[in-house]
Structure 1
Amino acid sequence: MSIRRGNETLDTYLLKVFCILMAERSVSRTALKLNQSQPAISVALKNLRAVFHDPLLVREKSGMVPTSRALALLEHAKAALGAIDSMLEVEEAFAPEHSRQVFRIGSPDYLAPVFAATVVARFRREAPHARLVLHALGPDFDFEQSLAEGRLDVVIGNWPEPPDRMHLSVLLEDEIVCLMSAGHPLAGRPMSLEDFRAAMHVVPTPYSISQRGMIDTVLTSLRVTRTEVVEAQSFMLAPYLLPGTDLIFTTTRHFARYYAGLLSLAIVESPIDFPPMRFYQLWHARNHHAPSHQWLRRLLTDCGRSIHPAA
């Protein structure tokens, strides 16, 4: 692999010679390391000087020392060689049981706790030495840029219209229900649309500044308004606001069932025919073919399929 600059050519061989010359600061020692003759390394140094229009190494009493230009070029040369090596490497099969890789997943805090727990349990079984980082998404967090830059490996969300610039697949679907205090007047009986309109609602702060949530989108399309009296910045805080109050929280069945098992809460069928809440996993093309990331996405998919609304 080579790059032309004017009449001179810079290739991987010259970059390797340059990096070793900078480390050894000796033509003879560089020749030994590369199993080359000293004249060959001298010619390579001459070519490097022509490419960069700089002496690169100069003689002083203590020996050869790099110029400031050479020092500035060194990190770029190392990075270039590393990138080329990565391009030419044949990626080995991924063995999760031996991996010490760090995997980073971004998700909103309303993801069903039972799903997250299933993912963590399986991750620990299959990759006991690896590390899993769960990053909570907020309204100001640019998850697309984080995926593009490699700061996140997968993002999970329920966009009404998922971003079309990424790869995606469906993880799970869940129905919408209403969660309320067990002592709420509407608990234990069917709820009408009029009941829903007249009720006092707690709503979450939107986690995406670019897209409306599915529930709000459906309510707007049906011209159904609700009285929103409490806004909770944390989705997981909302259930704790319900016991002993007249508030209703519209959410997914998995999420509601989890907190109904912890608190004195009741789950009531929604009077509105919401479509299923569909959760996707989203990833960037940079990781599409990486075996370790394929393993992670497959793990998430399997965990999603193991979760059933009636479970």
Structure 2
Amino acid sequence: MRDQTLFDKIDLHLIRVLHTVLTERSVSKAAIRLGMYQPAVSASLKKLRELAGDPLLVRSGAGMVPTDAGLRMLAPSASILRAAESMFSDARGFEPSSARQTFRIAASDFLDPLFLPQLVAQIKQQAPHCVIEILPLSAESDYRARLAQGDMDVVIGNWLKPPDDLHLGRLFGDEVVCLVARDHPAVRRSSQGGWDAASWLAAEHIAPTPTHPGARGVIDEHLDSLGLQRNITARCPHFGLIPSMVASTLLVLTTGRQYCERYVEKLPVKILPCPVPFPRLLYYQLWHERTHTSSAGRWLRERVKSVAASLQKE
């Protein structure tokens, strides 16, 4: 009888508040994400604590962290929300023009800078009532767990060896090239045949900040396999700012041609061939078995695929 009484006090809104507070680890941030006033979130959290007989979220230094009981509730609460979200939409099929769903897309900023803007535009054009959350692939982002828990719908990026425990869809391949300032000495050397592997390795390179300690990007992973190491003298966590840094320095950025071509007409930079042979950069979208047969999930993945194909044709 007690279990039934407890169950009667739990509604879907409380589950959403629970999951959001635990993932954001902040009442104020959860309120913003939920579109609620902070006192209302605090009142719901108080009710959840009473129901659970546990504080669920406690202070730790300047922030807050979930208790063990709170952590155990993360996966079940995500599963309940996802099931509720898809229960009726999948039963009647996904209708973009009338759907009111949240799509959560995690993406590497190594992508073509036009990719995400065009993806958001296409989704909003076809599904105007849907909410889109673009999430970073950062040191704090365990995308495997977040895909499984329903915190992400798709992850878009490039990997030398994509994880084999997720569904995978190839989007496009790209040639590895170098981006340098127009007056970089490498421009003259390249025209005279002096831009070789030794020159490239010795040059000053700029690279993205690793997503977590010990992480290696696809460029350095491949160099490791060849027993080579480049001279990285600058790192930046914001990939979109790197071309501007390259334009006013002697730094060399090594990445995909499609990305570099977006900046050639905007900045005083030039694309050079990379003297060290690299395999093509391959970009994928990844998703979990949880959304594999979802009509909304399939629709979203088709939009991702469509935008990737349109950018390749430009």
TM-score by length of 2: 0.70
What pairs with 1:175-194 in structure 2 (closer than 5 Å)? 175-187=175-187, 189-190=190-191, 191-194=195-198
Residue deviations 1:27-54 (CA, integer Å, cap 9, x gap): xxxxxxxxxxxxxxxxxxxxxxxxx3x6
Shift of 1:298: 0.9
The one-letter amino acid of 2:116's match is: A
Q: Distance in 2 between matches of 1:91 and 1:70?
A: 28
Q: Stretches of 4+ moved more than 4 A in 1?
A: 76-79, 81-90, 208-211
CA distance in 2, matches of 1:71, 1:229: 63
**C-alpha distance 84-231 of structure 1, shift in aligned 2 (>3 A):** closer
1:6 is aligned to none
Give the Cα–Cα distance (whole angstroms) in 1 for the partners of residues 212 and 141 of structure 2. Answer: 8
Question: Match of 1:237?
Answer: 241
Post-superposition offset of 1:229: 0.8
1:140 and 1:158 map into 2 onto residues whose CA distance is 18
Where 1:151 maps in the other structure, the secondary structure is coil
Among 263, 267, 272, the alignment partner of 2:271 is 267
Query: Retained in 1: the 8 A contact 2:110–2:259?
Result: yes
Q: 1:296 aligns with which of 297, 300, 309?
A: 300
Contact in 1 for aligned 2:180/2:269 (Cα 8 Å): yes
Work out the CA distance in 2 between the residues paired with 1:299 and 1:211: 30
What is the match of residue 279 of structure 1? 283
Per-residue deviation, residues 120-163 of structure 1 (Å, max 9, x unmatched) = 23223211222221111112311111111111111112122211
Residues 81-124 of structure 1: per-residue CA shift (max 9 Å, x gap): 99799879961121112222111100111111122233223223
C-alpha displacement of 1:247: 0.8
Q: Secondary structure of 2:206's partner?
A: strand
- CA distance in 2 between partners of 1:88 and 1:102 (Å): 15
Report matched runs for 1:82-93 at 5 Å.
Answer: 91-93=91-93
1:147 and 1:253 mapped to 2: Cα distance?
Answer: 30
CA gap 1:214/1:289 in 2 versus in 1, 3 angstroms: same
The 5 A counterparts of 1:1-311 are 52=1, 71-75=5-9, 91-187=91-187, 189-190=190-191, 191-207=195-211, 212-308=216-312, 311=314
How many angstroms does 1:278 deviate by? 0.7
Partners of 1:261 and 1:88 in 2: CA distance: 48
1:85 and 1:119 map into 2 onto residues whose CA distance is 22
Equivalent residues of 1:108, 1:136 under 8 A apart: yes
Q: Which amino acid aligns with 1:177?
A: V
Aligned to 2:163, the other structure's residue is in SS state: coil
Indicate how the Cα distance of structure 1 residues 149 and 194 shifts in structure 2: closer, same or farther if over 3 A, else same: same
Amino acid at match of 1:288: H
Using the alignment, how far apart are the partners of 1:91 and 1:136 within structure 2? 31
Which range is displaced more, 218-227 or 293-302? 218-227
Q: Determine the C-alpha separation between the residues in 2 that align with 1:202 and 1:85.
A: 43
Q: Among the aligned pairs, what percent are the same residue?
A: 34
**Unaligned stretches of 5+ residues in structure 1:** 1-51, 55-68
- How has the CA–CA distance of structure 1 residues 85 and 125 changed in structure 2, closer, same or farther, with 3 Å as cutoff? closer
Q: CA RMSD in A?
A: 2.9
Q: CA deviation at 1:175?
A: 1.1
State the 1:210 CA deviation: 7.6
Q: 1:84 to 1:141 in 2, by over 3 A?
A: closer
TM norm structure 1: 0.70
State the AA in 2 paired with 1:121: A
Query: Cα deviations across residues 208-259 of structure 1 (Å, max 9, x unaligned)?
Result: 5585322111111222221111111222221121123111011111211112
Q: Residue 295 of structure 1 aligns to which amino acid in structure 2?
A: W
Matched residue, 2:34? none
Cα distance in 2 between the residues matched to 1:116 and 1:89: 25
Deviates more, 1:105-114 or 1:116-125: 116-125
For the Cα contact (< 8 Å) 2:171–2:308, is it kept in 1? Answer: yes
Alpha-carbon contact 2:220-2:229 (below 8 Å) kept = no
Distance of 2:300 and 2:270 partners within structure 1: 35
Structure 2 CA distance for aligned equivalents of residues 118 and 85 of structure 1: 25
